[in-house]
Amino acid sequence: MSRTIEAIYEDGVFKPVEKIDLKEHQRIEIFIKEKESVAKRSQGILKGDPKVIEEIALSPEYSCLEE
């Protein structure tokens, strides 16, 4: 069985973002696929003054994060 588990590499250890169902000391294989940020994936889509684009990008009005 294979599945995708999101993890963070920190202090030399892969730490799953969510709880996973594995037995203690269970051996697994890990394939690494780096996640690209939304900013990186969308880089170059908008054309115009970089300062205006940055101002819009950092504006809380357009934030997708809940406050």
Task: Encode pLDDT of 20-65 as tens digits.
Answer: 999 999 999 988 888 777 767 777 777 788 888 788 878 888 777 6
Are 57 and 45 in contact by the 8 Å Cβ rule? The answer is no
Q: Residue 57: what pLDDT?
A: 78
1 domain residue, yes or no: no
Locus of tokens 């250890």:
13
40 domain residue, yes or no: yes
36 domain residue, yes or no: yes
Backbone angles phi, psi at 9, to 5 degrees: -90, 120
Q: Please count the structural domains in the chain.
A: 1
57 domain residue, yes or no: yes
Which domain range does residue 13 map to?
7-62
2 domain residue, yes or no: no
Please state the rounded mean pLDDT for residues 5-34.
Answer: 91
Task: Judge whether residue 67 has pLDDT over 70.
Answer: no
14 domain residue, yes or no: yes
67 domain residue, yes or no: no
Helices (H), the chain: 38-41, 50-58
Task: Say which residue, 15 or 1, is predicted with more confidence.
Answer: 15
